[in-house]
A and B are shown apart, each in its own frame.
Chain A
Amino acid sequence: MESPVIELSGLTKRYGEFTAVSGLDLTIRRGEIFGLLGPNGAGKTTTILMMLGLAEPSSGRATVCGIDATRNPIEVKRRVGYMPDDIGFYEDRTGLDNLIYTAMLNRVPEAEARRRAVHLLDKVGLSAAADKKTGAYSRGMRQRLGLADVLIKRPEVVILDEPTLGIDPEGVRELLTLIRELSRDEGLTVLLSSHHLHQVQQICDRVGLFVGGKLIASGDLAALSQLLDGEAAYAVEADVAGWSDALHETLRGLARVTSVVLTEPDALDAAARPDIVTVRVSGTDDVSAELAASVVGSGASLLGLRPLRYGLDEIYHRYFEGGGNLGQLH
């Protein structure tokens, strides 16, 4: 079972002069949730299409579940559920009919297909809308129906292309929770592409950053932030009332603290409490305890203390906006 579920080696796709995906190497293990992250036009969808055998790579190999996706796409598609980024259904059919149709295309007998469809509709919370035509579905409902549609063939791997696109925050949260649960309960391998970083961050075990057809970094969050800074870094953010320069010096003098930076407060908070200062303290180790002690000891009041982890947003920014950094990272 240790063999990787998805293995891409030297995968390249060229459209004439334009190279959409170049020399991609990627390995995804069984049961993992992998986030494919990148701006629009980075080649995410092209990569996914090549994994499904819907597009032919110019060179390289895509192996899914040990099957060559280019040579034997039917076998791959039997095992892989794919949800395209802008999923569509037959609008004059009901949600239930759409699911049954997909199941029957996978050679599931009709009675069994109906049983599964009803079960899945219940699971994604669409039981009430099962007999409504999909033309009347909202965007979020369509996305959830899409998830049921992907699962009805009982795949080993699920590939979701921009599953959260165009849904409201609550809908996104529900959908991601659903994906996470499914992955855990059924041991599914999930590949998720997105340009919404914090969403991916919530549920992915590992992410790959994809820019201009190249995978420039992959790993879990810690690995990515380490890649950025070159060393492990801890940062703490504190809200302090009664800030003084003396306190600033004290904090800077603490052991293992490398920098103390005043941050711009959020516009909303500043309006409410103008005397509160938010300060970001970075160190080579966790300095929260010492920090709290010094602040309180100096007579100022500590209103908030939170450890900072590099969010994908920051990583993303560092990668894309600090274009000069890119070369250094390799």
Chain B
Amino acid sequence: MANFIKKLYPAYIPAGGARGDRAFSERSPSPFWVMVRKEFGDHIRSWRFVILLAIVVLACAGSLYASISALKDGQSANAASGEGGSSFLFLRMFTETDGSLPGFLTFLSFLAPLIGIALGFDSVNTERNKGTLSRLLSQPLYRDDFLNAKFVAGLLLIAVVVFSLGFLVMGMGLLTIGFPPTPEEFWRVVFMLLITVVYVGLWLNLSLLFSVRFRQAATSALSGIALWIFFLVFYGMIVSLVGNATSPADTAAASAVIRHQDLMMLLSRLSPAYLFQEAASTLMLPDTRTLNPFITQDQAYLAVNAPLSFGQSLLLVWPQVVAIVAETTLSFAAAYVAFMRQEIRSRS
């Protein structure tokens, strides 16, 4: 049918008669996925991404080396003292270190935000400055598809990078220590990588927000990096400063001390970096039984001295996971609203 019409009116079919549309939409993807595909390709081909990947891979290889040498020392020490140190040996590859370099997890929590920022900081303002935004939006697509495509393409790429890094480390470790992971260990790692993706997604959204808000790519990159450094370095300092200033007197009641400590925990947990650290390290260290700094002597004494199961660890960090997802969603919503309210003009 479509062919027949095409023969009759070659010029008019694609202009968007209902028939022509349906004929095309069966064979061609929606504009949204076309944009995602293009964004994804752009990211992969860009120099920025190659450089970033090189840094992250180097960091991971370094931390892997450090942890493996630590594990070897630890193993021989354990063997000497006659203890069975093999519990969750595979997971310890991600956290343990011989002191020369930070572990994989630390590196990841440190560098992952950088990937998010680098992928997003110029995504909207550059299109605007180069005049491609108004051309793009005059095509038959919804305005929010543009921002959604930027986000989805970025997140897809992040997922690919994080998971391939994680599996790479697992594979390398497997080769070097020759000790296969149990299914539980495997799922713990996979879930940790999943949380990492969401966490990087948060930084991607923040940098998207900045790129909507600021017309200059440099300003937007700088604000992203400033926020990253703020949460990584200064936020903890500020929280402890506030903690010192407001700490109850030594003679205060226990309830007052506990209330104060709860408040400090709440403040710390506003920071996505802290949340991620808590969630990821709890998953990687099954021995962590609680994230609460206060436990009664009875609790400490009577608790079974055994690692938690995967489900229980997950239950422990579930609030953290929800909080990270919420913060990610919030920052995307902010970018979305800011973008939808903006006037589309060429280069202004």
Contact = CB atoms under 8 A, between A and B. Distances in A.
Contacts of A161: 346
A84 B345 CA distance: 9
Interface in A47-100: 49, 52, 54-55, 74-75, 77-92
A107 B344 CA distance: 23
Interface string A104-139: 111111100000000000000000000000000000
Contacts of B30: 107
Interface in A188-210: none
Contact of B131 (A75, A88, A108): A88
Interface stretch (B19-27, B104-112, B161-169, B276-284): B19-27
A156 B138 contact: no
Contacts of A294: none
A154 B11 contact: yes
B136 interface: yes
Contacts of B13: 154
Interface stretch (B31-39, B288-296, B315-323): B31-39
A77 B138 contact: yes
Contact of A108 (B28, B346, B347): B28
Contact of A87 (B45, B135, B141, B345): B135
B234 interface: no
Find the residue from B14, B29, B343 having the highest chain A CB count within 10 A: B14
Find the residue from A79, A106, A109 having the highest chain B CB count within 10 A: A106
A225 interface: no
Interface in B137-178: 137-142
A156 B15 contact: yes
Nearest to B30: A107
Given A54-B138, A79-B15, A154-B12, A105 B130 contact: no
A106 B24 CA distance: 9
Contacts of A105: 31, 34-35, 136, 139-141
A42 B13 CA distance: 36
Contacts of A91: 130
Given A84-B131, A88-B130, A88-B132, A77 B140 contact: yes
Contacts of A183: none
Contacts of A75: 16, 140
A156 B13 CA distance: 11
B240 interface: no
B14 A153 contact: yes
Nearest to A101: B38
A258 interface: no
Interface in B1-60: 11-16, 21, 24-25, 27-31, 34-35, 38, 42, 45
B18 to A, nearest CB: 10
B139 A77 contact: yes
B134 interface: yes
A68 B137 CA distance: 17
A22 interface: no
Given A101-B38, A105-B31, A154-B14, A45 B132 contact: no
Interface string B305-348: 00000000000000000000000000000000000000111110
A288 interface: no
A155 interface: yes
A285 interface: no
A76 to B, nearest CB: 8
Interface in A139-158: 146, 149, 153-156
Given A78-B15, A88-B131, A106 B345 contact: no
A301 interface: no
B135 A84 contact: yes
Interface residues of A, number: 41
Contact of A104 (B28, B136, B343): B28
A290 interface: no
Contacts of B139: 77, 102, 105-106, 153
A107 B21 contact: yes
B15 A107 contact: no
Contact of B24 (A54, A107, A186): A107
B35 A108 contact: no
Nearest to B38: A101
Nearest to B138: A82
Contacts of A55: 343-344
Find the residue from B35, B45, B346 having the highest chain A CB count within 10 A: B346
B150 to A, nearest CB: 14
Given A104-B28, A104-B34, A86 B14 contact: no
A82 B346 CA distance: 12
A81 B140 CA distance: 10
A88 B34 contact: no
Contacts of B130: 88-91
Contacts of B343: 55
A108 B139 CA distance: 12
B11 to A, nearest CB: 6
Contact of A49 (B35, B141, B345): B345
B189 to A, nearest CB: 36
Interface string B117-143: 000000000000011101111111110
B169 to A, nearest CB: 32
Contact of B132 (A83, A85, A90): A90
B15 A108 contact: no
Contacts of B142: 74
Contacts of B346: 45, 84-88, 161
Given A106-B139, A108-B24, 14 more contacts: A49-B345, A54-B344, A82-B138, A84-B134, A84-B138, A88-B130, A88-B346, A89-B130, A90-B42, A105-B139, A106-B31, A106-B140, A107-B24, A161-B346
Interface of A: 45, 49, 52, 54-55, 74-75, 77-92, 101-102, 104-110, 146, 149, 153-156, 161, 186-187
Interface of B: 11-16, 21, 24-25, 27-31, 34-35, 38, 42, 45, 130-132, 134-142, 343-347
A-B residue pairs, 6 tightest by C-beta: A88-B131, A78-B16, A82-B138, A88-B130, A84-B346, A78-B140
11 contacts: A49-B344, A54-B134, A81-B138, A86-B347, A89-B132, A102-B135, A104-B34, A107-B30, A108-B24, A153-B14, A161-B346
